[in-house]
Amino acid sequence: MDTEPMTTALPTPYDHLTSPRTAAALVLQGRFLSAAREFLAGEGFTEMLAPIIGPVTDPGARGAKQVDVDYYGHRYKLMTSGILYKQASLLSFGKIFHVAPNVRLEPLETAVTHRHLVEFHQLDVEIADGSREEAMEVAERLTRHCVRQVVQTCAAELDVLGRDPGELRLAVAEPYERKRHSAVVAELVELGYPQSADTEIEWSGEELVSAKAAHPFFVIDYPKGSRGFYDRENERDPGVLRNFDLIFPGGYGEMMSGSERESDYRRLLARIRETGENPGKYEWYLTLARKGIPASAGFGLGVERFTRFLGGLDAVWQATAYPKLPGQARP
């Protein structure tokens, strides 16, 4: 796969929407989402419709800015992630999922990463009383199922895109390895990449380890402070979070992020304050936590990113009908 920075010049909406490659990519996307819904329904998950705006959204989006809207005189946010609402939804059902749009004003430099959009969608999954290991097991079986369904039903579209079905089958043929964050940092340092041990894996470093991989793998145990306040800290290993990322091979990078969630009111309050956030912003969420929300684990899978992998696309904007890259005004 070409790893040189792509041009940020997008085709006109007419050219993009009439391209056979766009149509093929969107067919793959629809089939993968159908397969995901079939799989999750069979596992006892209930699909819910997520909100698009709210008084607060996920504060942990890697350098991206939030979008404010005037909601009858109140300052509301477009969702950058539905994580807080996923936890709240477990008051109704023990296993939930949703497919929802997210908006993040990404830094301008991410326009050439192949992997960032301002407007994108996530397949979000949450399991009441679930563990990190249970969430990873569901994530592995889900992604493997979706790949197999696309290979079985979308031969014509894969041919249009020049994607070898054998490569897709091979990618998910083996169990997904688990690597600690510290081990990935050490691997990058050995490769000459200056990755900090205290932060998330940087985009370019993530692409390096992804390009070297033959199969998907999980990165686990990120350091506290590198992620949002809702990722649960490991009580037996203070300073380490019970979370994970799923990295796909071939340079496609991170497909999903997940964790066990913090649900205890006092610990949530302390974690919010540690991050410099104002707890008052999270009043509705903290009220639910005080009354009692289930402990849980879950993840969010990037729909356009996974479509990019399935189709072997050069860039994630090719996996959406109406691409919006950082800094570009688009319909």
What pLDDT, in 10s, does the model give residues 227-239? 989 999 999 999 9
CA atoms within a 13 Å half-sphere pointing along the CA-CB vector of 141: 11
Q: Is residue 1 part of a domain?
A: no
Q: What pLDDT is attached to residue 179?
A: 98
pLDDT over 50 at 289, yes or no: yes
Residue 7 pLDDT level (bands cut at 50, 70, 90): very low
Q: Domain limits at 202?
A: 13-319
Q: Is residue 178 part of a domain?
A: yes
pTM: 0.94
For the chain, give the mean pLDDT.
94
Write out pLDDT tens, residues 190-213.
999 999 999 999 989 999 999 999
Q: Is residue 248 part of a domain?
A: yes
Q: How many domains does the chain have?
A: 1
Question: In one letter, which amino acid is 113?
Answer: T
Q: What pLDDT is attached to residue 60?
A: 67
Please, where are the H alpha helices in the chain? 13-17, 20-42, 83-89, 132-153, 155-161, 165-171, 181-190, 203-212, 265-274, 283-291, 303-311
pLDDT over 50 at 5, yes or no: no
Q: Is residue 138 part of a domain?
A: yes
Q: Is residue 255 part of a domain?
A: yes
Query: Going by C-beta distance under 8 Å and a sequence separation of 6 or more, which residues neighbour residue 206?
Result: 247, 253, 254
Q: Are strands 296-302 and 253-260 parallel, antiparallel or unpaired?
A: antiparallel
CATH number of the structural domain spanning residue 270:
3.30.930.10
What is the rounded CA–CA span in Å between residue 167 and residue 147? 11
Over residues 150-175, mean pLDDT:
97
Over residues 158-169, mean pLDDT:
97
Supply the DSSP symbol for 90: T
Residue 245 pLDDT level (bands cut at 50, 70, 90): very high
Q: Is residue 267 part of a domain?
A: yes
Q: Is residue 149 part of a domain?
A: yes
CA angle 130, 134, 137 (to 5 degrees): 155
- 221 backbone φψ class: left, alpha, beta (φ>0; ψ -120 to 50): left
Q: What pLDDT is attached to residue 110?
A: 82
Write out pLDDT tens, residues 80-116.
999 999 999 999 999 999 999 999 998 888 888 888 9
What is the rounded CA–CA span in Å between residue 296 and residue 283? 20
Supply the DSSP symbol for 315: S
Residue 276 pLDDT level (bands cut at 50, 70, 90): confident
Write out pLDDT tens, residues 317-330.
999 999 999 988 88
